[in-house]
């Protein structure tokens, strides 16, 4: 199994372009099957979760290639509506195919999805919404079969603003008969990107980015070319990595409006950030302060996907900071691993108390999920001596060669394929 070997201590510096967003590309690739014909989606990162989505589309009969960062699809050859268990188990986001398959082909069969080891991750909000649109859903022995001759528009209230459920229902409702209103919808930038893509295809969706999305169903959608928005979590990762190493970088292809909660917190702790169009610079030039409380929340709140990384950074800042995880239960599995590197973090239910320490030390640690793994890597960039992060397949799910990005900014990190 591959691992990263990191020699810490070098401040990051230089310039880097941020690639397209995995979390926007996944639902958009799923949505592509809503239109029959040839499509091109550009700025799609080459990472594991995308590879799995392409594998599933291939399995369904769609012809897909991913060359340079463009995915070309021929969706009219789709010949199956069943996603087999081994593929479903590889990635939770395969659930995005439910809405499109059901809307366009009237049926879909999946098994319960796999994914990151962060809490329960149920799919009841997806299923309840699809039922509201008129789907018959039968669940037995871990297989979920949905059917609907014609989905019909409905008023749907989400009990929690789930990102995936909002996206799934937007896709399904695009081809439903009549108007659908999704209330308490998630407001993430990736949802706006999906709305833009659907509308370019001829859908009539409005309200994404607010908590109410209205979809007037249309009879069919047309294949198009589309470019994915930049990945705000990768940008956030590199900003936090620069902060922890006390470096100075310029990132391009960044949208500051997608990162407000992170930027505000970094600035509160004394970091200097400037933006000019899609360029963002970060510099550490003075003493840094701890942060009283950061609470993760659905967008525009502080993103749960940056929680572990922020904790690693706060560990290197004098004083006590508190982080409260409000989106996923059990998303603190990185704490024990970080503490092995010399951090002083304790947890109590969904709160973590981070006491700043003067030094981190290299250790052998294990990535337990995607973002937890990234947090260990950036802690390794700061730590004295050598850090080995094992099980980096988790990290590869969401970063296109994280080591390459960090090397480009001057870090000493390499990948080993030895076990
Ligand atoms: C998406 C992101 C992920 C991010 C998360 C929260 C993608 C591919 N992934 O995941 O990186 O961490 O948003 O910002 O975009 N829930 C239910 N029932 C459901 C669905 C969700 O109870 O049917 C709960 C979850 O267990 C969790 C919370 O709602 O506690 C948020 O989940 P959700 O917003 O759906 O996250 P994902 O779409 O899976």
What pLDDT digit, counting tens, does each position of 229-265 carry?
A: 999 999 999 999 999 999 999 999 999 999 999 999 9
Closest C-alpha to ligand 1, atom 27: 328
The answer to whether residues 100 and 67 touch, using CB atoms and an 8 Å cutoff, is: no
Q: Could you tell me the distance, in angstroms and rounded to a whole number, from the CA of residue 166 to the centre of ligand 1?
A: 10
Closest C-alpha to ligand 1, atom 15: 23
| Co-location of 355 and 254 in the same domain | yes
* pLDDT attached to residue 329: 83
What pLDDT digit, counting tens, does each position of 372-401 carry?
A: 999 999 999 999 999 999 999 999 999 999
Count of domains observed in the chain: 2
| Co-location of 221 and 234 in the same domain | no
What pLDDT digit, counting tens, does each position of 139-177 carry?
A: 888 789 999 999 999 999 999 999 999 999 999 999 999
* pLDDT attached to residue 139: 86
Distance of alpha carbon 136 from alpha carbon 100, whole angstroms: 15
| Co-location of 246 and 214 in the same domain | no
Report the share of the chain in percent with pLDDT over 90. 89
How much of the chain is in helix, strand and coil states, percent to nearest 5?
35, 25, 35
CATH of the domain at 129: 3.65.10.10
Q: Of the residues 30, 127, 137, 162, which should be mutated to test ligand 1's pocket, given the most ligand atoms within 8 Å of the CB? A: 162
Q: pLDDT band for position 121 (50/70/90)?
A: low
Distance of alpha carbon 62 from alpha carbon 136, whole angstroms: 25
In this prediction, residues 305-314 reach a mean pLDDT of 98
Task: State the average pLDDT for the chain.
Answer: 95
Three-class SS of residue 370?
Answer: helix
Distance of alpha carbon 249 from alpha carbon 222, whole angstroms: 41
- Strand partners of residue 355: 320, 344
| Co-location of 157 and 99 in the same domain | yes
Report whether pLDDT(90) > 90.
no
| Co-location of 104 and 170 in the same domain | yes
Structural domain containing residue 400? 3-19+230-416
| Co-location of 386 and 244 in the same domain | yes
What pLDDT digit, counting tens, does each position of 191-213 carry?
A: 999 999 999 999 999 999 999 99
Please tell me which residue in 24, 91, 116, 185 is annotated as part of the active site: 116
Residues with CB under 6 A from ligand 1: 23, 26, 93, 119-126, 160, 162-165, 186, 190, 304-305, 327-328
pLDDT: which is higher, 120 or 293? 293
| Co-location of 120 and 80 in the same domain | yes
Q: pLDDT band for position 351 (50/70/90)?
A: very high
Radius of gyration of the chain from its Cα atoms, rounded to whole angstroms: 21
Report whether pLDDT(91) > 70.
yes
Q: Could you tell me the distance, in angstroms and rounded to a whole number, from the CA of residue 160 to the centre of ligand 1?
A: 9
Q: Could you tell me the distance, in angstroms and rounded to a whole number, from the CA of residue 163 to the centre of ligand 1?
A: 6
Domain boundary pick from 195, 212, 227: 227
| Ligand 1 atom showing the smallest separation from residue 398 Cα | 11
Domain boundary pick from 185, 200, 227: 227
Q: Could you tell me the distance, in angstroms and rounded to a whole number, from the CA of residue 19 to the centre of ligand 1?
A: 22
| Co-location of 186 and 49 in the same domain | yes
Report whether pLDDT(352) > 60.
yes
What pLDDT digit, counting tens, does each position of 255-300 carry?
A: 999 999 999 999 999 999 999 999 999 999 888 999 999 999 999 9
- The reply to whether 146 belongs to the active site is no
Report whether pLDDT(419) > 50.
no
- Report cis status (omega within 30 of 0) of the bond before 17: no
What pLDDT digit, counting tens, does each position of 329-341 carry?
A: 878 999 999 999 9
Structure tokens at 248: 């100075």
| Ligand 1 atom showing the smallest separation from residue 303 Cα | 14
Q: Of the residues 48, 90, 115, 163, which should be mutated to test ligand 1's pocket, given the most ligand atoms within 8 Å of the CB? A: 163
| Ligand 1 atom showing the smallest separation from residue 186 Cα | 34
Q: How many CB atoms lie within 10 A of CB 419?
A: 7
| Co-location of 7 and 48 in the same domain | no
Report whether pLDDT(118) > 60.
no
How close are the terminal C-alpha atoms of the chain, in Å?
5
* pLDDT attached to residue 94: 85
| Ligand 1 atom showing the smallest separation from residue 96 Cα | 8
| Co-location of 210 and 251 in the same domain | no
| Co-location of 215 and 235 in the same domain | no
| Ligand 1 atom showing the smallest separation from residue 126 Cα | 23
- Strand partners of residue 348: 351
Q: Could you tell me the distance, in angstroms and rounded to a whole number, from the CA of residue 93 to the centre of ligand 1?
A: 10
Q: Could you tell me the distance, in angstroms and rounded to a whole number, from the CA of residue 92 to the centre of ligand 1?
A: 10
* pLDDT attached to residue 88: 81
* Residue 141: partners with Cβ closer than 8 Å, 6 or more residues away: none
Find the helix packing angle between 163-174 and 124-132, rounded to 10°.
20
Closest C-alpha to ligand 1, atom 32: 162
Domain boundary pick from 227, 260, 279: 227
In this prediction, residues 2-7 reach a mean pLDDT of 97
* pLDDT attached to residue 108: 96
| Co-location of 180 and 305 in the same domain | no
* pLDDT attached to residue 114: 53
Structure tokens at 67: 């060359």
């Amino acid at each position: 199994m591959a691992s990263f070997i990191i020699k810490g201590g070098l401040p990051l510096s230089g310039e880097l372009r941020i690639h397209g967003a995995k979390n926007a590309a996944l639902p958009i690739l799923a949505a592509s099957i809503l239109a029959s014909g040839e499509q091109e989606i550009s700025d799609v990162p080459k990472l594991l979760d995308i590879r799995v989505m392409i594998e599933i589309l291939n399995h369904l009969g769609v012809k897909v290639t991913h060359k340079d960062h463009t995915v070309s699809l021929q969706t009219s050859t789709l010949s199956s509506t069943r996603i087999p268990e081994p593929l479903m188990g590889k990635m939770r986001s395969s659930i995005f195919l439910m809405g499109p398959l059901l809307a366009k082909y009237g049926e879909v069969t999946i098994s319960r999805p796999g994914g990151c080891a962060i809490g329960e991750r149920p799919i009841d909000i997806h299923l309840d919404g699809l039922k509201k649109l008129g789907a018959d859903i039968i669940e037995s022995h871990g297989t979920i079969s949905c059917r609907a001759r014609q989905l019909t528009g409905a008023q749907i209230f989400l009990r929690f603003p789930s990102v995936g459920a909002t996206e799934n229902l937007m896709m399904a409702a695009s081809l439903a008969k009549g108007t659908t209103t999704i209330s308490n919808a998630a407001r993430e930038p990736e949802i706006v990107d999906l709305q833009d893509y659907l509308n370019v295809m001829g859908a009539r969706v409005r309200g994404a980015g607010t908590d109410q999305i209205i979809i007037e169903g249309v009879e069919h959608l047309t294949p198009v070319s589309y470019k994915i928005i930049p990945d705000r979590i990768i940008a956030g990762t590199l900003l936090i990595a620069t902060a922890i190493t006390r470096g100075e970088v310029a990132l391009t292809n960044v949208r500051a409006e997608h990162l407000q909660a992170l930027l505000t917190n970094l600035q509160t702790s004394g970091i200097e950030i400037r933006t000019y169009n899609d360029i963002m610079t970060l510099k550490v030039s003075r003493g840094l302060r701890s942060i009283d409380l950061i609470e993760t929340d659905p967008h525009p709140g502080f993103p749960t996907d940056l929680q572990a990384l922020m904790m690693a950074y706060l560990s290197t800042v004098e004083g006590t900071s508190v982080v409260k995880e409000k989106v996923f239960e059990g998303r603190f599995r990185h704490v024990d691993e970080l503490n092995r590197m010399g951090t002083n973090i304790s947890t109590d239910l969904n709160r973590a108390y981070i006491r700043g320490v003067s030094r981190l030390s290299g250790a052998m640690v294990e990535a337990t999920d995607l973002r937890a793994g990234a947090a260990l890597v950036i802690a390794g960039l700061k730590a004295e001596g050598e850090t080995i992060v094992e099980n980096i397949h988790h990290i590869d799910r969401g970063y296109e060669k994280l080591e390459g990005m960090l090397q480009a900014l001057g870090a000493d990190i390499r990948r080993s394929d030895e076990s």
